[in-house]
Chains A and B, each alone.
Chain A
Amino acid sequence: MKSPEYITLDANEAAARIAYLTNEVIAIYPITPASQMGEWADEWAAAGKPNLWGTVPQVVEMQSEGGAAGAIHGALQAGSLATTFTASQGLLLMIPNMYKIAGELTPVVFHIAARAIAAQGLSIFGDHQDVMAARQTGWAVLASASVQEAQDFAAIAHAATLQARVPFIHFFDGFRTSHEINKIALLDEDDLRAMLDEAGIARHRAHGLSPEHPVIRGTAQNPDVYFQGRETVNPYYAAVPGIVQGAMDRFAALTGRQYHLYEYYGAPDAEHVVIIMASGGEAVHETVDYLNAHGAKLGVLKVRLFRPFDCAGMIAALPQSVRKIAVLDRTKEPGSAGEPLYQDVLTALMENWTGVMPRVVGGRYGLASKDFTPAMVKAVYDNLDLDQPKNHFTIGINDDVGHTSLPFDRDFSVEPETVVRALFYGLGADGTVGANKNSIKIIGENTPNYAQGYFVYDSKKSGSMTTSHLRFGRDPIRSNYLITKANFVACHQPGFLERFDILADAVEGGVFLLNTHVPADRVWDSLPRNTQEHIVNKHLHLYIIDAYKVAKEAGMGGRINTVMQVCFFAISGVLPRDEAINEIKDSIIKTYGKKGEEIVEKNLQAVDQTLGNLYEVAVPTAISSKVELLSPVSAGAPDFVRGVLGEMIAGRGDLLPVSLMPADGTYPVGTTQYEKRNLAQEIPVWDPNVCIQCGKCAMVCPHAVIRIKAYEPELLTGAPETFKSMDAKDTDWAGLKYTIQVAPEDCTGCALCVDVCPAKNKSAANQKAINMRPQPPLREQECENWDFFLDIPELDRRRIKTSSIRQQQVQQPLFEFSGACAGCGETPYLKLITQLFGDRTVVANATGCSSIYGGNLPTTPWASNDEGRGPAWANSLFEDNAEFGLGIRVALDKQNEIARELLQKLAGEIGGEFAESILHAVQRDEAGIHEQRERVALLKQRLAELSSVGRNGASDAKRLLDLADTLVKRDVWIVGGDGWAYDIGFGGLDHVFASGRNVNILVMDTEVYSNTGGQASKSTPRAAIAKFAAGGKRGSKKDLGMIAMSYGGVYVAHVAMGAKDEQTLRAFLEAEAYDGPSLIIAYSHCIAHGINMGTAMRNQKAAVDSGQWLLYRYHPEHAARGEHSLTLDSRAPKLPLNEYLRMENRFRMLEMSKPEVARELFAQAQEDVRMQWALYEYLASRSVNGSEVKS
């Protein structure tokens, strides 16, 4: 047996490597937390990396997980070795094919990063709900508990399936294992090859469909034989446990790592045993060690093979001494007799146990990556100590509704002192996580020590806090839960100290490293009281560095990663200081060498300059600070926001009891306004002397922090001294005052507004009507101004001409302060919908970026106006959003129909003329809608009187009262990204086009799956590099607009706000006004394009100027009138396409990585542009009767 190579990696990479090496066809589709497995496969294939047999696997991206399963089914039927990766809803979409694949006895392994299922809310985090939803498909289920196992079991599963002909789900816990970096022994290719059964491969090949030996597979079977056919497979399933154990034994012979299907660990004479599957078993294992060392006699049974469930094997693994068993399930099946593992254990015991039957209780833990700690494990064992242990319990939460939860002592810890435990609080943008991953690599791969890293991210995309949990030690690290006893805490952003209890998890005598610009002699006074208390009471050692200064001097900008990494090594003593610094330098050269020597030089310079700037600060004994922790929400927040959402913001969401959670997942709107994130170092400041009141700054603001109001001059009474106003320039508003105000604490500082401002100061052209200025000195004053501004009443919507941007932009946005990336290209479009139609809109939002920044807790951006009206928002799934929206439309139409029927029926009681006025109301504009609202208000008053008991028609009146609001115009907006519209949701979208129903569809086209990290979609343009298109996208972009136009009855607009905002506005108005399906495809610049987000509207313009993105509107009513229905709103391409492509990293990367391919694809892309223009120009020049239009 060779001694293995040790490397550090996460389970996604470990499993993907084995899958890649052992397969020929790989179908992929992005879904968190499994996306990385597909990304690895695609990158390796793009780099020409061969599999075990020297050939590069075919990696094919599909339009959905359902598609991936279908493609794999096909590949398997053709006799190839094939695999895929998925999680959560993705696995659910594969289920139909999984039944088929199993029914046909086909060897295959799907690798699953197990994840929660969307129910009352979506969660991207890990549990076993997805795997459990597929347990009935006839697939073997093999569970990995760690990164090492994820690699090893991937190999064992591939080996076993070839032998057994039963397909395998190989799963590990999403995030906890999929994203945990750990040091593992690498399985070398020879050992992997030795594991695989060549005869099994040959049999699989021979089983493949071939015209040389044709067969029919997939017959339709009748009542006479289907049943018998279904029972044919039993012997295959019966053989699986033996085959898997055989594979495990072979694996042990090759590698020395012995696994068992049901692995018992603990006291041989244990009376109390926990049965558990996957990563949770590691925490139990560790706790058993600790408690047994302290005199207990406990055991844990780790279930590796869950399907087929080998009852006898499991029972055999249990010690005969066992008297009580707690079965822990990481899933929830409401209404069941118990969760699946619990039920299986009970069945196994009933069928196989001899002697006194142990008492068995079941419990749920760890849903959606809820941390599962030794403290919780101890509580589970403590429960078994009771005479009547609680059954169907939960652990890890406070269930004050169903009273299922077990109490536990949060302070209980089993972490050995020999392990270095470090916590790092950083910003996403400062490189903290990257540096920590690098530190793990250095220690894990260059020293005999073991290393582990796990990273917790924020729910917001911009300005987010990251927490890195790192452990280093002499022995393999099983502690797969968050660190709560840290002997090293680093705070990379001093601002966090005021917002979070950063040192709560520091241990006595630990080290606190703070990045601050405050010098050593003044730093103590700058710390909040809470921080000082921790430092003094726990006798912490305080170190400081001005990392931003060092990084800046080294030319690294805001990336303080290298500086803080050096500090960590210098202080922590994990490695001798000089050795550590040499390792960091080597690592910099290895990591950045290929990217350019200047990048290496800067990092090396940062290393060299760090130690001279690192100081230990003598800690006073007295606590002197008057600075208290900030409240997580602003003053005036409603109780629910304060008591529930605020606790989540403060990082105390784990402590919230069940009773405070809405039972059906319904949350109040408009809650982002209470979370003052103060992200911007600079905010825009308005200069009325230069302003031309065009409204563009407010229109492009992705975060709705620039607001405009036009108002009566007397409302300025009592205005703060620094509040700015000017006369409204628009002649319609003569006599009104005009103010542009910024929300200083909600701005992200993206500066898009400044870039689009067309007004320049006549004396200094670098100054505009809106300019970025440092936020801190302005914060107090502008907060006061903002509050005053909010109190100024909105202008009557009937006085606003919506077709003019300068007027339209005074409409109140009802989508504000979202957690989207700073400078997001999608949100300005959503905000525009809410300004124009928000008070009458229901939104169906496809899963993706927009559902995340739109609906991710704690706080959400969809808001309501002063009258309490605003968009009602819901997210169903990724794949069904068009259908979901259509259903809403059909329901609203039906409700309106019922209301009209009832109104006609009740006309006698409420007045015929009045009823007629409601029934025939014209609601084309704000005035019409306003009047109808007034009529409906009156109607409701009458109905309330009529519905009182005993009156004629009371029941009808009551029914109409419930539906009366639907007599006012209702809009349905179906919104989502290109991943939904072009790929996974296209079938439904296409059906909605054909439905003729009055829905408005907004596709925010970023040309990649942005939310999952930039995977290619069918919208991705040719020559772009994206994940899943690592070698550059070879095909051209799908023309969704043309497909929609082919129906004739769909309004279609292709817009780009940054290129022509008037056209965008016009398209939104026309789409909403059109009584039928409308589709707006909106160019949405994105962080995944690799661009400067602050100037991204220029990219939109360049896309249009180059002809890459056309602006047009297709109006079916024009066609009906015989006029030309397609209007081209952009001019003939004038910018060479290359110039646009070179503005964006997604294209530039191809030039840098594959110049030959770039030359070819850029040229083809230019040709695409030419042909696209020729086609659209031709179509736009024709009327529907074929004649050329004279324009």
Chain B
Amino acid sequence: MTDITTPYLGMMLRSPIVVSASPLSEKVDNIRRMEDSGAGAVVLYSLFEEQIRQEREAMHHYMLYGTESFAEALSYFPEPEVYHAGTEDYLKLIQDAKKAVDIPVIASLNGAHPGSWEKFARRIESAGADALELNVYTIPSDLLMSGAAVEQNIIEIVREVKAAIKLPVAVKLSPFFSNMANMAYQLDLAGADALVLFNRFYQPDIDLETLEVVPNLLLSTPQALRLPLTWIALLYGRIRPQLAATSGVHTANDVVKLMMVGAQVTMMASSLLRSGIDHIRLVESGMRKWMNEHEYESVAQMRGSLSQLNAPDPSAFERAQYIRSLKSYQPKE
């Protein structure tokens, strides 16, 4: 029997296939189905603190809108006794999920303001999550903010959260740093227990009929796998935090490849949104089949076997290779 158990964030997962943050985890029933389908752990959908803040401000604005202007209608809404801050649902989901399943439940947090990360992280810890994934990606568009400052912000957040809670902390990042390796190293120093590579973000589209910019959620494609694959390969063995792969993980072969370059776990969402939660089962059986056919005993055995440290051609993962391949396309003189 092939052993696919995987240590991640201090826990022993029964499988390296983990469900990454997505709307699927909004319902406890789905989380139960993820467990039934063999998921090693589930990362809950992200708690977007900024969104909650905006919603609260909008609520406050509309509660006051038009009030105290006209004698017959001094207000338009009853004043609720309680306002749910917007995080209660999330904390309740953590509790409900913990009751419903045995696999680890990892909370995901996207903060927006200094101080808020730490506060919400504490609440998440109290609610009983097994670990916390910090989703630190934002689009820095401030012309006056240097890349170093952006990086420093992220490092500070991780440091603060680590100091505030005892839970293992994973950091989900985008690849857009001048030197990803250095960023990973800095996060190592800041205390991150794992790096989740890489975040996907939603790039808007244009509606040619209405001439409007429209939000457009694109699910990941198999090609998206290459970026995490490259960076996990480069980082494996060089830093302390564990490496989790996300984006473009669709098939059993994808999982195997990522294990080989050094991923601790592989995370899936798009393929589950497309094919259903049961898809996990298919991927796991495919992975077991491949391992059997190729006589691998465990995922531990294959982990990192094709990382840059262990690859037959270490330079294959580096930029120079890219230049060479470009050169090969140069037209003949």
Contact = CB atoms under 8 A, between A and B. Distances in A.
Q: Do A and B actually bind?
A: yes
Interface of A: 32-33, 35-36, 39, 42-43, 46-47, 124, 175, 427-429, 431-434, 455, 457-458, 460-461, 464, 466, 557, 559, 592, 594-596, 598-599, 760, 765, 821, 852, 1010-1014, 1025-1027, 1030, 1087-1088, 1090-1091, 1145-1146, 1148-1149, 1151-1155
Contacts of A460: 70
Point out which of B66, B83, B85, B211 has the most chain A C-beta atoms below 10 A from its C-beta.
B66
B86 interface: yes
A434 B78 contact: no
Contacts of A1090: 59, 62-63, 65, 76-77
B84 interface: yes
Given A461-B70, A464-B69, A821-B66, A1155 B77 contact: no
A1151 to B, nearest CB: 8
Given A596-B57, A598-B56, A1087-B65, A1152 B84 contact: yes
B88 A595 contact: no
B81 A1153 contact: yes
B139 interface: no
B88 A596 contact: no
A821 B70 CA distance: 10
B182 to A, nearest CB: 34
B89 interface: yes
Given A596-B60, A599-B57, A464 B70 contact: yes
A429 B70 CA distance: 10
Nearest to B86: A1152
A1073 B64 CA distance: 43
Interface in B122-148: none
Given A1013-B74, A1153-B80, 20 more contacts: A32-B72, A35-B72, A124-B71, A433-B74, A457-B69, A466-B69, A596-B53, A596-B85, A598-B57, A765-B212, A1025-B77, A1027-B77, A1027-B78, A1088-B66, A1090-B59, A1149-B59, A1152-B83, A1152-B86, A1153-B83, A1155-B84
Contacts of A595: 56, 59-60, 63, 83
Nearest to B75: A1013
A979 to B, nearest CB: 12
Interface string B200-230: 0000000000011000000000000000000
Contacts of B86: 1152
B197 to A, nearest CB: 32
B149 interface: no
Interface in B42-67: 53, 55-67
Interface string B81-107: 111111011000000000000000000
A1014 B70 CA distance: 13
A1151 B77 CA distance: 14
Contact of B89 (A596, A1012, A1025, A1155): A1155
Given A1011-B72, A1148-B59, A428 B66 contact: yes
A460 B85 CA distance: 35
B68 interface: yes
A595 B82 CA distance: 9
A596 B83 contact: yes
The 5 closest A-B pairs by CB, nearest first: A428-B69, A1153-B80, A1090-B62, A1013-B73, A596-B56
Most chain B CB atoms below 10 A, which of A595, A1011, A1014, A1030: A595
B59 A1088 contact: no
18 contacts: A32-B71, A36-B74, A42-B78, A458-B69, A461-B66, A461-B69, A595-B56, A595-B63, A1011-B73, A1014-B75, A1025-B80, A1088-B66, A1090-B65, A1145-B58, A1148-B59, A1152-B55, A1153-B82, A1153-B84
Interface of A is mostly: mixed
Given A596-B83, A1152-B86, A1153-B84, A1012 B73 contact: yes
B24 to A, nearest CB: 16
B79 interface: yes
Given A1153-B83, A1155-B84, A457 B70 contact: yes
A1026 B88 CA distance: 23
Q: Chain B interface residue count: which class?
A: 35 or more
Contacts of B58: 1145, 1148
Given A466-B68, A1155-B84, A599 B56 contact: yes
A1088 B75 CA distance: 9
Contacts of B211: 760, 765
A667 to B, nearest CB: 20
Contacts of A1151: 84
Nearest to A429: B69
Nearest to A1153: B80
B59 A1152 contact: yes
A1012 B72 contact: yes
Contacts of A434: 64, 67-68
Nearest to B85: A596
Contacts of A431: 64, 68
A175 B72 CA distance: 10
Nearest to A1011: B72
B73 A1010 contact: yes
Contacts of A461: 66, 69-70, 73
B76 A1014 contact: yes
Given A595-B59, A1153-B83, A124 B68 contact: no
A1017 to B, nearest CB: 14
A994 B55 CA distance: 47
B189 to A, nearest CB: 31
A1088 B76 contact: yes
A1026 B73 CA distance: 13
B72 A124 contact: yes
B304 to A, nearest CB: 44
Interface string B170-198: 00000000000000000000000000000
Nearest to A44: B81
A1101 B325 CA distance: 53
Interface in B222-281: none
Contact of A47 (B59, B75, B81, B83): B81
A429 B61 CA distance: 11
A428 B77 contact: no
A690 to B, nearest CB: 12
B77 A599 contact: no
A497 B73 CA distance: 26
Q: Report which residue of A47, A1013, A1030 has the largest number of chain B beta carbons within 10 angstroms of its beta carbon.
A: A1013
Nearest to B82: A1153
B60 A599 contact: yes
A175 B73 CA distance: 13
B70 A1152 contact: no
Nearest to B71: A457
Contact of A1148 (B53, B55, B68, B76): B55
A319 B80 CA distance: 52
A33 B81 CA distance: 24
Contacts of B82: 594, 1153
A461 B66 CA distance: 8
Given A429-B69, A458-B69, A466-B69, A1087 B57 contact: no
A1059 to B, nearest CB: 16
Contacts of B212: 765
B177 to A, nearest CB: 30
Contact of A1014 (B59, B73, B88): B73
Interface in B145-170: none
Nearest to B56: A596
Contacts of B69: 427-429, 457-458, 461, 464, 466
A598 B72 contact: no
Given A39-B78, A1145-B77, A598 B53 contact: yes
Contact of B64 (A32, A559, A1153): A559
A434 B57 CA distance: 18
A46 B72 contact: no
B71 A1145 contact: no
Contacts of B53: 596, 598
Nearest to A1150: B80
